[in-house]
Amino acid sequence: MESIGCTCLEAILGCKKTQKAGVKGPKGNFWSGNEEEIKQMKMERREMILDIKSHDFLEKVQPDFAKWASQYGGIFMFWSGKKPKLHISDPELAKQVLSNKFGFYRKIDVGPGIMALLGKGLVLAEGADWARHRRVVSPAFTMDKLKTMTGTIADCAEAMLTNWNEKKEVEVSLEFQELTANAISHTAFGSSYALGKEVFLAQKELQMIIITSFFKRQFPFNKYLPTEANRSRRRLERKMRDTLMDIIERRLESKEAAYGEDLLGLMMQACMSGNTMTMDEIISECKTFFFAGHETTSHLLTWTIFLLSTHQEWQQRLREEVLRECGKETPDADKISKLKLMTMVLFEVLRLYSPVMVLGRTAIKDVKLGSLVVPKDMDIIIPVAGIHHSKEIWGADANEFNPLRFENGVTKAANHPNAMLAFSTGPRACVGQSFAMLEAKIVLSMILQKFSFVLSPDYKHMPADMLTLQPQRGLPILLQNLSA
C-alpha cells in the first residue's frame, strides 16, 4: 500500500494527524490526481455485461471505489486534481456528516453542468437560503397534499398502460421517465406534459453533455471557453428558463385570487406576497423538482420491474397483495398504505439499485469525525452504493434480493439504523421521498393489476452511472395482458 505523500498532506491535513489516523490511498498525478486512472477504469468496464442474477455491479459502475476499498479499507483518500477527497463507508461516520445540524458541512461544488441542470434549488442551496426554501417547499409534500395527488398520478399511469394494451414488448425505462415527467408536471406545476416536456428533454440533453464531459480532460477555465459543450449548455439553460417562465406566466394569467396549493403555487405565493423567494429562485426550484421528480421515481420503477421479472415469486406475491387490498379498482392513498410487502420490495430495490450512488459534502472548518480530524475544505465522499452492498453491514446476502430484510422496518434491516441512504438522512434528507414512494406504489399496483411480465431476451444487464443509476441499454420486457 502507498501512503499519501507527506509533503502534500502538510498543506492539506497536517502530516502528523494523518499518520496517527492511518489514512492511506492511491498516489495521484501532480496535476490531475487520480482522475485519469478513474476514467481509464470506467472506460474499460463500460461495456461489461453482468449476469441477470448478479446485483453486485460495483466493479462495473464504481471500479475505482471497489479497487481502493479492497486495498485500503473503507476509509481512504484519493485526488481530484490537487484536491484531496476522503472516502468513508462507515454508516456511523456518514450519519455524523449528513445529520450535522451546525452547518459544518456544505454541498460539494458541482460545476456549471450540474448547476445548469438543477439550478440552485433545495439540492444545492446552503445555509439560510436552504432553510428559507425548505420552509416554502415542504407544505407541498405533506401527507394531506399527497393524498390529493393520487388521482392525478393514477390518470397519468392509466394513459401509459392503455398504450401497453396492444403491445407485446415495452422498453419500460423510457416509458417510466415520460410517465414520471408527466406526473410531476401535473402534480407540482399544474401543467401538461406537452409543456413540461421541453424542460424534460433539455435536462436529458444536459445529462448527456455532463456524462460526456467526464471522460474529457477538464481545467478550471474550461467553463469559460466557447466550446461546443459550453454553447449547448447555455442554449439549454435559456430553453429551460423560457419554458419555465411560460408555465409561471400562465399561472399568473389565470387571475385567480390564490396561485394554487401545488408546489408552484406555494412558491409564487412566497414570491408575490413577501418576497420570501425571488423569481430566479422559483426557476431554480422548478429545475430541481422537474429533474428529481421524474428521475428518482422512474429508475426506482425500472429496477423494480427488473427485479420482479427475475423473481417471479415476488411478482406474484405483490400481485396477490394488490388484488387483496385494491381489487381491480384504481388504488387510492388509503389502499396504498396497506401494501406492506410492496413497501418492503421498494426499499430492497432502493438498497440494491439506489438511483443516487454517492453523496458528497465539504468541511467548512476543521472538524473531528470519529478518530479523524477533517481539515477545512476537504471533500467527504459517502459511497451510498458501497454501503448498501456491504456484507459487514447487511449480512452475507447483501448482494441478493431479499425484501424480507425490511420486515421490521428500515432501521432494523441492517446492523446500523442509518445504513439505508437512498434518500439521504438528517435535516437535508429528500423532501420528496414520500411523493416518490407513493407514486411508485400507485404505478406498480396498476401494472400488477393488468399485466404479468418477464425480461426480453434482448435485455443486457449493464447498470451504468448516468448521474443516476440506470440500465445502460434500457429495460425491454415482454408483457402478458391478464385481462386478455
d(C-alpha 54, C-alpha 300), whole Å: 18
Alpha-carbon torsion (58, 38, 64, 16), positive or negative: negative
Find out whether 271 is annotated in a ligand binding site.
no
Instruction: Identify the CA nearest to 236 among candidates 191, 282, 189, 199.
Output: 199
Collapsing DSSP to helix, strand or coil, 52 comes out as coil
Our CA angle for 180, 182, 185, nearest 5°, is: 105
Burial class (CB in 10 A: 0-12, 13-18, 19+), 255: exposed
Instruction: Using DSSP, state whether 166 is helix, strand or coil.
Output: coil
Report d(CA 33, CA 78) in Å as an integer.
Answer: 8
Residue 216 to residue 211: CA distance in whole angstroms: 10
- Encoded amino acid at 284, one letter: S
Collapsing DSSP to helix, strand or coil, 84 comes out as strand
C-alpha grid cell, residue 224: 469559460
Rounded Cα gap, residues 159 and 307, in angstroms: 24
- State how far Cα 2 lies from the chain centre: 33
Burial class (CB in 10 A: 0-12, 13-18, 19+), 426: middle
Contacts of 371 (CB under 8 A, 6+ apart): 21
For 52, other C-beta atoms within 10 Å of its C-beta total 13
Which residue type occupies 209?
I
Quick one: how far is CA 225 from the chain centroid?
A: 30
Instruction: Tell me how far apart the alpha carbons of residues 391 and 399 are, in angstroms, rounded to a whole number.
Output: 8
Q: Is 25 left (phi over 0), alpha (psi -120 to 50) or beta?
A: left
Phi and psi angles of residue 302, each rounded to the nearest 5 degrees, phi first: -60, -50
What is the CB-side half-sphere exposure of residue 375 using CA atoms within 13 A?
Answer: 15
User: How far is 229 from 81, CA to CA, in rounded Å?
Assistant: 21
Instruction: Please list, in sequence order, all residues whose beta carbon lies within 8 angstroms of the beta carbon of residue 66, skipping any fewer than 6 positions away.
Output: 58, 59, 386
Q: Could you tell me which residues are annotated as the binding site?
A: 430
Q: Could you tell me which residues are annotated as the binding site for heme?
A: 430
